Amino acid sequence: MRKIKTIAEKIDEMIASYEMLNREAHDLIDLYIDEVRLQCPGIPIGSLKQMEITNPAGTSLNVPRALKILRDRKSPAR
């Protein structure tokens, strides 16, 4: 028989899942910025990240929008 989860247990699972996906998303963004740095040496990482991701995604980093920007830049055929 399946155990019924409490609201608190479900929220804990959701938070853990969100934190894992958020870390993964930021790792992808950082990897992309590292690739761009190879093409634009000398530009500080913070400035590059601001120009490439944060500004287009919104003032408070909108992670889903940032990932869409990354997807579109990495897959021009879309």
- CA nearest to 67, candidates 40, 31, 36: 31
CB proximity list for 56: less than 8 A, separation 6 or greater: 65, 66, 69
Tens of pLDDT, residues 41-63: 899 988 998 888 888 887 667 88
Q: Give the long-range contacts of residues 69-77, CB within 8 A, separation 24 or more.
A: 70/28, 70/29, 70/32, 73/32, 74/32
Classify residue 58 as exposed, middle or buried by CB count within 10 Å of its CB (0-12, 13-18, 19+).
exposed
Output the pLDDT for position 31. Answer: 94
pTM for the model stands at 0.72
Tens of pLDDT, residues 5-35: 888 888 899 999 999 999 999 999 999 999 9
**Higher local confidence (pLDDT), 78 or 63:** 63
